Structure 1
Amino acid sequence: MAYQPVTSQPGQATWMPVPSAPPGCPPGLEYMTQIDQLLVKQQVELLEAFTGFETNNKYKIMNSQGQKVYFAAEDNDCCSRQCCGNIRSFEMKIMDNSQNEVIHLSRPLRCMHCMWVCCLQELEVQSPPGTTVGWVKQTWHPFLPKFVVQSAAGETVLTIEGPCLNCSFCGDVEFDVMSADETSKVGKISKQWSGLAREMFTDADNFGIQFPMDLDVKVKACLLGAVFLIDFMFFEQVGNQEQQNTVW
């Protein structure tokens, strides 16, 4: 499908222009070649805010200039959303300006408990859909949220480590992105404070991601996927109670 520019309305963010794709770049990931940070903004669902009825999550993904890069939408059934809460499995479609699905995220249903190694979380990242480019997998730790980012071949390329407490009143909650051997920090994922009313009455969150400009676009796609796994695990409401005390 040929790229068709989207004309923005007054007050709305414009779409990021499509850059040239380098050789071997999966279709849709060429945007990532010119990006070293992203802002992921969850859309506020009024039905969910006023009734507590869980709806499919939707997100705008923007660059540092406020231009829209992608749009992400959860694809899930009503029963899973209402009965399984934040541990629910999901399929997440990430689409470009032309509404082509360029990244697909898949999370299986697993319980969350720090003492059960068999319940560690994972997320498969595909780009284009059907072609696995990497994984985000939780690793066991007694009190810290820790993850590894792996290539499609299962090789660990990055690690992610969060704080013991995943709440910070009027401040950001930061997850450090580290090298594979955990000796150097190369970026971070930040859950950003979005205001008292929004924090109390909705689970619509804002996240920022920072990573090296020259990082492999497939690894960047995996870090984007890590945002959604972290959001569901630690910041998604269960009923009207958000997971805000500890990582478990």
Structure 2
Amino acid sequence: MNPLLNEKLFLIKEKVGMFKASNSYDIFNPESNKHLMTSTEPDLGTFTKIFRFTKYKRHTPFNVLVTTTEGKPIVNIKRGVAFFRSDIEVFDEKGQLIGHFNQKFWSFGGKFEIVDKQQKPVCTLEGKWTGWDFKFNKDGKELASVSKKWAGIGKEFFTSADNYVLSINEIVPQDSVERQLIFAAVMVIDMVLKE
């Protein structure tokens, strides 16, 4: 696992674009403002690009690759076409499957069961329908949280760019699959629940 994922705080900034089919993000340490990682959708197909500009955008497949600023892979998040719910696969820097996000039906704020590659529960990710707060919980303990960080009314009004802050609790072990899956969840929240 890349040591960059052992940070406790991440600022994920969606790259600004008026008419863009793919999603891309820059990831920073919000305390030092150091640019840590980049996230892109490198190989977007023609039909996917077309459907991204329709009301069916939420149903399109995605392949989000998170890399260091030098281009070294860190995490890869993939989903096929989704109709009623999303099942997402997460891969490590070597392309090995490390876990899944299984979306739950009938949750008002959005809910995912996060499991490892053997389908053993890692934690749940659940949002509030009244706001933009998401919590990662396991056995009654909060492992991490994601909240929306506003970049200013002008930027938010004229673009679809969003900013998110991920805070990982110190009880989450460093260099763990759990930490990789929690980190990957930020892109999942934006692509599946908030588009």
TM-score bucket of the superposed structures, by smaller chain = 0.7 to 0.9
Structure 2 counterpart of 1:205, one-letter code: D
Which of 45, 56, 62 aligns to 1:77? It is: 45
Partner of 2:137: 178
Partner of 2:98: 133
Q: Is the 8 A contact 2:144 2:182 kept in 1?
A: no
Q: Distance in 2 between matches of 1:228 and 1:108?
A: 15
Structure 2 counterpart of 1:96, one-letter code: T
Taking structure 2 as the reference length, the TM-score comes to: 0.86
Taking structure 1 as the reference length, the TM-score comes to: 0.69
Structure 2 counterpart of 1:124, one-letter code: E
Distance verdict in 2 for CA 1:177–1:142, change over 3 Å? closer
SS of residue paired to 2:41: strand
1:227 aligns to 2:186 (yes or no): yes
Partner of 1:41: 13
Structure 2 counterpart of 1:31, one-letter code: L
Calculate percent identity across the aligned residue pairs.
21
- Runs (4+) off by over 4 Å: none
Unmatched tracts of structure 2, length 5 or more? none
Partner of 2:5: 32
Q: Is the 8 A contact 2:144 2:167 kept in 1?
A: yes
Distance verdict in 2 for CA 1:98–1:158, change over 3 Å? same
**Deviation of 1:188 (Å):** 0.5
Partner of 2:115: 150
Partner of 2:22: 56
Partner of 2:125: 160
Q: Is the 8 A contact 1:136 1:225 kept in 2?
A: no
Distance verdict in 2 for CA 1:190–1:142, change over 3 Å? closer
Q: Distance in 2 between matches of 1:37 and 1:135?
A: 23
Greater Cα radius of gyration, structure 1 or 2? 1
Unmatched tracts of structure 1, length 5 or more? 1-25, 112-118, 167-172, 237-248
Q: Distance in 2 between matches of 1:210 and 1:223?
A: 10
The structure with the largest strand share of the pair is 2
Q: Distance in 1 between matches of 2:20 and 2:28?
A: 25
**Deviation of 1:226 (Å):** 1.2
Q: Distance in 1 between matches of 2:70 and 2:5?
A: 16
Q: Is the 8 A contact 1:203 1:235 kept in 2?
A: no
Distance verdict in 2 for CA 1:157–1:200, change over 3 Å? same
Q: Is the 8 A contact 1:93 1:103 kept in 2?
A: yes
Q: Distance in 1 between matches of 2:20 and 2:69?
A: 27
Partner of 1:16: none
**Deviation of 1:211 (Å):** 1.1
Structure 2 counterpart of 1:44, one-letter code: V
Q: Is the 8 A contact 2:148 2:162 kept in 1?
A: yes
Matched positions, count: 187
Partner of 1:66: 33
Which of 147, 150, 155 aligns to 1:190? It is: 147
Which of 80, 89, 104 aligns to 1:108? It is: 80
